[in-house]
Amino acid sequence: NAGVMQNPRHLVRRRGQEARLRCSPVKGHSHVYWYRQLPEEGLKFMVYLQKENIIDESGMPKERFSAEFPKEGPSILRIQQVVRGDSAAYFCASQGTRGDKEAFFGQGTRLTVV
């Protein structure tokens, strides 16, 4: 977990609002993964990004969800028009390069939609 910073740790949104989750990877890491975890369940892959590129978004819902990892600044997972079913813990993991293999997770953002 060292070095991967996620904020906010907790986020409450009303139905229909937008949620923005931020992830700052380990310094020097250029690969970021986002995962969603429902209570008492496992980690579901959402998206894999490199700086300025989306490599694999096969786990992202087709609508309302988007992710970016700009050249400067944190990776952002955006959920538009949130619904109750979006309530979950969202984790990001960072990796140096593919060859490094090791991926380190942040502490997560717990989104609650009321």
3-state secondary structure the chain: CCCCEEECCEEEECCCCCEEEEEECCCCCCEEEEEEECCCCCEEEEEEEECCEEEECCCCCCCCEEEECCCCCCEEEEECCCCHHHCEEEEEEEECCHHHCCEEECCCEEEEEC
Shortest Cβ 16–other proteins spacing (Å): 28
The count of chain residues that interact with other proteins, using the rule CB under 8 A, is 25
Both structure tokens of 77: 């997972």
Q: Work out whether 61 is an interface residue with other proteins (CB under 8 A).
A: no
User: Among 25, 6, 7, which residue's Cα sits nearest to residue 103?
Assistant: 25
Stretch binding other proteins (CB under 8 A), from 12-20, 55-63, 70-78, 80-88? 55-63
Q: CB 56 → other proteins: shortest distance, Å?
A: 6
Nearer to other proteins, 3 or 16 (CB): 3
Nearer to other proteins, 14 or 27 (CB): 27
Binding of residue 74 to other proteins (CB under 8 A) = no
**Residue numbers of the site for other proteins (CB under 8 A)?**
1, 4, 6, 33, 35, 41-45, 48, 55-56, 59, 91, 93, 98, 101-108
